[in-house]
Amino acid sequence: MSFMPIKFVGTDIPSAEDLRNCIHCGFCLPSCPTYISTGHELESPRGRLHLIDAVRSGRIDINDRLLGHLDLCLQCRACETACPSGVPYGRIMEDARASIMSNPRSLQPKQWRLRTFLLRNVIVRPIILRLAILPLRIYSKTRLQSLFRKHIYKWLPKRIVNFEALIPEINSKRFHQREILSSPDNASMRVALIMGCVQGEIFPQTHEATINVLEKLGCEVIAPPSQVCCGALHLHAGDMQKSRELARKNIRAFEEHQVDAIIVNAAGCGSTLKEYDHLLREDIKWSERAQVFSDKVEDILEFVAPRMQEENFQNSLSKIDINVTLQDSCHLAHAQGIRKAPRDILNQIPGINLHEMSNPDRCCGSAGIYSLVQSEMSNNILDTKMEDILTTESSIICTANPGCTLQLQSGVRKSGFDAEVLHVIELLNRSLVQK
């Protein structure tokens, strides 16, 4: 790609006030996976903020090199946890990408245009997504997958091998979506479940575990049939228009049902859903409705953790004697600030020995579609993560996001480590089911 005269344009240009909050202290550097991997200042949050500020002030134009630095960012938001000044790095990065994609189509980076096209035409369309996953489902359920991993992989380029390692062993059954998911006689609360895009296709067991646990806590669980993709991947890719469109559709879908809470079991989705109020802040018709919606959103772990103390629930738990480690999903720990809840849940399951890794909140390298578009960096980060996990000598790796699950499953396969990767809620449900 040659030099392109791209500017920051549109309504989502990074805020000068947000950029001024950065005091260049460097506290973010030790928390940034790409800086740790490369040692390059421009692959750090501070370096990227400097570039964005320079573009905004007109000191530099956007070229291939700058786009490369922005593209290599995982948007894990670990820097926000480390920042003493409260710089909203994730928001700045989303605005930067959005303002680049607001340029005329001919000036938009080709790779970014392709990414936007796929996100708009595959992820948000359940039938198309299902058809896209079908070959992977067939591949994982035939001898092809085992044949590849035993014999063929050694003859192919590393990039193809790394991509294949991301293909999960897809459950033979999809989640059966219906409006009423659970309706116990003793229901004391009514909650709605976010279905997500890939969760029901690839990890239906996570939905089933979520429903079982909620039912045990006395919740009626519904799934509004008109809900759509949360828009997280579109937001991270700079497609603000589509993100806002999806946000409005979801708000409307859930407004039709009177519920006490909106439950989500994918950390990346939850982070975006909780920020609908910011996404639609300038929309007079939707800003208040977005605030009401976001206030009701709770991650399944923060919802369950304080309610596990109930005697009936405690008496329903069976003992599981096993060593477990926890990978903090980035958008749970850094974007939502939820760290205690998953540990509280694990520590209340009888027999569980929680072995913390050295850096449980450092990104695993998944980051939405990052593992596909930045496979080399993603695998470098994953290798570091697996070294950390191996030191815990755990048989189960728990996390709270489907992307993390896929990435860690890939790491387990490549390292030859004998361990199972589960959502925290799946392990809790396993204790309930065994009773």
Q: Are residues 229 and 282 in the same domain?
A: yes
* Overall average pLDDT of the 23-29 stretch: 93
Q: For residue 165, what pLDDT is reported?
A: 67
Query: Which domain range does residue 225 map to?
Result: 180-304
Q: Are residues 355 and 387 in the same domain?
A: yes
* Overall average pLDDT of the 355-370 stretch: 92
If one compares 149 and 209, the residue with the highest pLDDT of the two is 209
Residue 145 pLDDT level (bands cut at 50, 70, 90): low
If one compares 435 and 412, the residue with the highest pLDDT of the two is 412
pLDDT per residue as tens digits for the range 391-404 = 999 999 999 999 99
If one counts the domains in the chain, the total is: 4
Q: For residue 136, what pLDDT is reported?
A: 72
Q: Domain for residue 170, yes or no?
A: no
Q: For residue 433, what pLDDT is reported?
A: 79
* Overall average pLDDT of the 369-390 stretch: 90
Q: Domain for residue 4, yes or no?
A: no
Q: Domain for residue 335, yes or no?
A: yes
Residue 344 scores a pLDDT above 50: yes
- Point out the domain boundary residue: 107, 130, 145: 107
pLDDT per residue as tens digits for the range 58-108 = 898 888 899 999 999 999 999 999 999 999 999 999 999 999 988 888 788
CATH of the domain at 242: 1.20.1050
Separation CA 338–CA 332 (nearest Å): 5
Residue 150 scores a pLDDT above 90: no
Q: Which residues lie closer than 8 Å to 240 by C-beta, 6 or more apart? A: 12, 94, 98, 101, 234, 279
Separation CA 289–CA 54 (nearest Å): 36
Q: Are residues 185 and 271 in the same domain?
A: yes
pLDDT per residue as tens digits for the range 402-414 = 999 999 998 998 8
Q: Domain for residue 7, yes or no?
A: no
HSE, CB side, 13 Å, CA atoms: give it for residue 99. 21
How much of the chain exceeds pLDDT 70, in percent?
91
Q: Are residues 192 and 288 in the same domain?
A: yes
* Overall average pLDDT of the 152-162 stretch: 64
Q: Domain for residue 337, yes or no?
A: yes
The CA R_g of the chain, rounded to the nearest whole Å, is 22
**Whole-number Cα distances in Å, 57 to 7, 52, 54:** 10, 9, 5
Q: Are residues 185 and 151 in the same domain?
A: no
Residue 2 scores a pLDDT above 50: no
* Overall average pLDDT of the 328-350 stretch: 96
Q: Are residues 357 and 410 in the same domain?
A: yes
How much of the chain exceeds pLDDT 90, in percent?
65
Q: Are residues 192 and 149 in the same domain?
A: no
Q: For residue 159, what pLDDT is reported?
A: 65
Q: Domain for residue 429, yes or no?
A: yes
Q: Are residues 122 and 68 in the same domain?
A: no
Q: Domain for residue 11, yes or no?
A: no
Q: Are residues 289 and 365 in the same domain?
A: no
Q: Are residues 318 and 425 in the same domain?
A: yes
Contact predicate 352/320, CB 8 Å? yes
CATH of the domain at 363: 3.40.50
pLDDT per residue as tens digits for the range 192-236 = 999 988 887 888 999 999 999 999 999 999 999 999 999 999 999
Q: Domain for residue 20, yes or no?
A: yes
Q: Are residues 387 and 406 in the same domain?
A: yes
Phi-psi region of 27 (alpha: psi -120 to 50; beta: other; left: phi over 0): alpha
**3-state SS assignment for residue 268:** helix
- Point out the domain boundary residue: 92, 107, 122: 107
